[in-house]
Structure 1
Amino acid sequence: MEYRIVVDSCGELTDEMKKSGIYKTASLSMEVDGVHIQDDESFDQADFLKRVAESSECPKSSCPSPEKYMELYHCEAERVYAVTLSAELSGSHNSAELGRKLYEEEYGRKQIHVFNSRSASVGESLIALKIQECEEKGMEFEEVIASVDRYIEEQHTYFVLENLDTLRKNGRLTGLKSLAVSALNIKPVMGANPEGQICQLGQGRGMKKALAKMAEQIAADAINPTEKILAISHCNCPERAMAVEKLIREKINVKESFIVDTAGISSMYANDGGIIVVL
């Protein structure tokens, strides 16, 4: 294998990505009422959501250690790329960079590059797929980095959640003006700004209207959609995800699209019923 792509576990891998052998996951972990849950193949979404629903405390997450990243960089691949959660939202990016320095101290120089996704969930997955596409075109290491950086600049992340409690309690909504009152069943349409911070893009009365608003926003923001993959991750609501995919594809033509279940970290922040869309 000439190259390896390391994605932290907030980025969901499709079955095809898992089977390719190119991808490795740097697992984050979560804690609910003192119970430690690893965000890896052992993650049980139904059990996790039940624990969160029954807990009076807010779940917490921990990023992979620099040593973990260093281990993942230590392989026969000549080029290693890492894709992490937005540096504005998690310490995972910093950890991946420290892991790169540790690797160089321990083993010497190697072509390793860490991408700040400025996104999360399937935003990371799409960036990883872009790296693979560039590598398969035979691009040089520096060309891959430049091409993927351009792709990140054009990428947009959107989400509509049933509730924003976890994001709010864990301090991920800093800088936002007060959000609409849940008693009115107002659902904010959220997104990421160019720096990778969470921002509000709009709102709708009830989930259906908020999702329709989000689809309109996606269509309005789309840059060269026919060259892009539309990715959707959902937390325990596959029918809702399929309805959103249909809504968006009726408005714009995309190269292809896929839907995945949220892994652990995305499930923790999206909560039951949450939808995340990236184009």
Structure 2
Amino acid sequence: MRYKIVIDSCGELIERWKEDPAIERASLTLTVDEEDIVDDESFDQAYFLKRVAESPNCPKSSCPSPERYMEAYDCEADHVYAVTLSSELSGSYNSAVLGRNLLLESQPEKKIHIFNSRSASVGETLIALKIEECESKDMEFEDIVREVDAYIESQNTYFVLESLETLRKNGRLSNLKAFVATALKIKPVMGATPEGTIIQLDQARGINKALMKMVDYIVERSADSADRILGISHCNCRERAEIVRDAILKRIPVKDVVLLDTAGVSSMYANDGGIIVVI
């Protein structure tokens, strides 16, 4: 096997990857109150969203251990890559780096690189697709790392949330601000900085207006869109995701579209009805 890609479970898997030995998921664990839910193929989104809605506490996540990453890297592949959610949001990146260091102690010749996505969700998916594309061209390992790093630098991440409850519960939004925003049906348009932190770009009254404002930002900031893949993930709202996709495609060309339902960690961040777009 020429290469292997390890993706933490904040990144969604496209269907063909689920049976591909070159792709491996490193699962995070989600905790709601005292219940641990592993974010793997057994994840039940409907059950998780119900538990989150019922709980007064904020759901939490714990990243894969360094030993879990080390186990994933210990394979016959010539080139090994890991793709993790933003190091600003989780310890998954640091854990992946520690796992590499552990394996290199016994296999110093092994070629392993860890990509900090500076994004999440479908952003990680698109990075893994970029690695695949580079590997299909038989590029050298060092050249692939440089090209994928440049791709990550050029990515833009946007999202709109139906509910502000998770932000309120984890202390990112005051109870008063969350109450006022909910009462007035104000929906924030969010994005990610180049460093991978979350910022508010704009806001609108009502989810549909917020989504169209997000589309405006995407169109304005996607000058080279014809050469890029548009990634959209949604939390339990495929029809809404399709509306966003169609609105974008009416205004700019793209190379391809990936539309996926959120896995566990992304469902925790996006909450029921959330939309995440990466291009």
Shorter-chain TM-score above 0.5? yes
Partner of 1:133: 133
Partner of 2:189: 189
Q: Is the 8 A contact 1:154 1:223 kept in 2?
A: no
Partner of 2:64: 64
Aligned counterparts, 1:97-246, within 5 A: 97-170=97-170, 181-246=181-246
Distance in 2, matches of 1:120 and 1:220, equals 22
Q: Deviations over 1:216-268 (max 9, x none)?
A: 10000114111111011110111001111001111100001021110000001
Give the length in aligned residue pairs. Answer: 277
Distance in 2, matches of 1:169 and 1:56, equals 8
Structure 1 position 172, deviation (Å): 6.2
Partner of 2:12: 12
Distance in 2, matches of 1:42 and 1:66, equals 22
Decide whether aligned partners of structure 1 residues 63 and 188 sit closer, same or farther in structure 2, where only a CA change above 3 A counts.
same
Distance in 2, matches of 1:253 and 1:199, equals 26
Q: Is the 8 A contact 1:179 1:188 kept in 2?
A: no
Decide whether aligned partners of structure 1 residues 223 and 256 sit closer, same or farther in structure 2, where only a CA change above 3 A counts.
same
Aligned to 1:251, what secondary structure does the other structure show? Answer: coil
Query: What is the root-mean-square deviation of aligned Cα atoms in Å?
Result: 1.8
Distance in 2, matches of 1:27 and 1:82, equals 13
Structure 2, unpaired ranges of 5+: none
Partner of 1:87: 87
Distance in 2, matches of 1:16 and 1:173, equals 38
Q: Counterpart of 2:141 in structure 1: which amino acid?
A: F
Q: Deviations over 1:131-178 (max 9, x none)?
A: 01001111100100110011011100000001233245335679xx99
Partner of 1:263: 263
Structure 1 position 108, deviation (Å): 2.9
Q: Is the 8 A contact 1:173 1:198 kept in 2?
A: no
- TM-score under structure 1 length normalisation: 0.95
Decide whether aligned partners of structure 1 residues 6 and 180 sit closer, same or farther in structure 2, where only a CA change above 3 A counts.
farther
Distance in 1, matches of 2:78 and 2:45, equals 35
Misfit runs of 4+, over 4 Å: 171-174, 177-180
Q: Is the 8 A contact 2:168 2:178 kept in 1?
A: no
Structure 1 position 182, deviation (Å): 2.5
Aligned to 2:249, what secondary structure does the other structure show? Answer: helix
Distance in 1, matches of 2:57 and 2:180, equals 23
Aligned to 2:16, what secondary structure does the other structure show? Answer: helix
Structure 1, unpaired ranges of 5+: none
Distance in 1, matches of 2:89 and 2:265, equals 12
Aligned to 1:97, what secondary structure does the other structure show? Answer: helix
Partner of 1:35: 35
Aligned to 2:98, what secondary structure does the other structure show? Answer: helix
Q: Counterpart of 1:82 in structure 2: which amino acid?
A: A
Q: Counterpart of 2:135 in structure 1: which amino acid?
A: E
